[in-house]
Amino acid sequence: MLSSLSSQIINVVEKASIACYDWIGKGDNKSADNEAVVSMRHNLNKMDISGTVVIGEGERDEAPMLYIGEKVGKGGVEVDIALDPLEGTTICANAGESSLAVIAFANKGGFLHAPDVYMEKIAVGAGLPKNIIDLDNSPKKNLQNLAKAKKVSLDELTIMILDRPRHAELIAKVREAGSRVRLIGDGDVAGVIACTSGHTKIDAYMGTGGAPEGVLAAAALRVIGGQMMGRLVFHNNTKQIERAKKMGIKDLSKKYTAKDMAKGDVIFACAGVTDGYMLKGVRKCKDSNRVFVNSLLLDSSAKKVTQTTSEIYL
């Protein structure tokens, strides 16, 4: 059933990425994000769905549009939606690498209702032994397991990590183990997906990022394979813990797999805003109203990955 929505879903992310174009490199991440949100909401409401946003722009009192619980669509099949209209707002504002418009669809109840807190994450690509990674392992142990499975030395592994002060110890431990670190400034959905693609030369993703982004990344991994583990991080914040409990989180220290976070049939789609290691960014022809958008659609039920470049007339 979800597969029948593929063309409409691609349209949503393509239009959101185009909406960001005029703000690339302008240093205004809020305006870029707002344009993406407005576009994505507008096009979701044109779809033949009865959709509920379960991973969105925040709580209802914090976000005017695409908030958690918002209903979208003209009516039709019931779906849950996880979205990030502009992943990497700062990347877009600075014309950096790999900002994306991202969305995922699942049947009702398919997505983990993750609160807007941090999530500790580790992910690797497909074709590896089960349970090769674990958040309770030391970074060195995970790297040793990975190197053994890939039949390479530790110094041949490259690990992608968000460039944040909180990751200083993790970065040091990865380097102490002998492996390489590739730092990214933003965009951990793209970071997780990067470790599943051979041409990126990324062997694993490690670190702490947003829980909503963790769910989106899990949806992608459900299709393209790979392993992921995530665990919510609360830092003894009472308000965050209470919010999580209200959203149905019972075990605060649970380790979630990709299947725990995105169950059943899922569709994941993203479109490039700026050039990156997965997709090219939006390209607008100066002498016409033509725009070229590079997008990716991952469909679990069809077991299909489709990468396209659309020529769109504005």
Quick one: pLDDT at residue 63?
80
Quick one: pLDDT at residue 287?
79
Average pLDDT over residues 103-131: 95
**For 204-257, what is each residue's pLDDT tens digit?**
999 999 999 999 999 999 999 899 999 999 988 899 999 899 888 999 999 999
Domains in the chain: boundaries: 2-110+266-313, 118-261
pLDDT of residue 172 exceeding 90, the answer is yes
Mean model confidence pLDDT for the chain: 94
Does the fold of domain 118-261 match that of domain 2-110+266-313?
no
Quick one: pLDDT at residue 188?
87
**For 23-38, what is each residue's pLDDT tens digit?**
999 999 999 999 999 9
**For 254-294, what is each residue's pLDDT tens digit?**
999 999 999 999 999 999 999 998 899 999 998 778 999 99
Question: How much is the pTM?
Answer: 0.94
pLDDT of residue 59 exceeding 80, the answer is no
Class of domain 118-261: alpha beta
Quick one: pLDDT at residue 200?
83
pLDDT of residue 195 exceeding 80, the answer is yes
Average pLDDT over residues 99-103: 97
- 235/62: higher pLDDT: 235
- Tell me the pLDDT band of 1, cut-offs 50, 70 and 90: confident
DSSP string, the chain: -GGGGHHHHHHHHHHHHHHHGGGTTSS-HHHHHHHHHHHHHHHHTTSSEEEEEEESSS-TTT-SSS-TT-EESSS-EEEEEEEEEEE-HHHHHTT-S--EEEEEEEETT-B----SSEEEEEEE-SSS-TT---TTS-HHHHHHHHHHHHT--GGG-EEEEE--GGGHHHHHHHHHTT-EEEEESS-HHHHHHHTT-GGGT--EEEEEEEHHHHHHHHHHHHHH--EEEEEEE-TT-HHHHHHHHHTT---TTPPEEHHHHB-SSEEEEEEESS--SS----EE-TTSSEEEEEEEEEETTTTEEEEEEEEEE-
CATH topology of domain 2-110+266-313: Fructose-1,6-Bisphosphatase; Chain A, domain 1 (3.30.540)
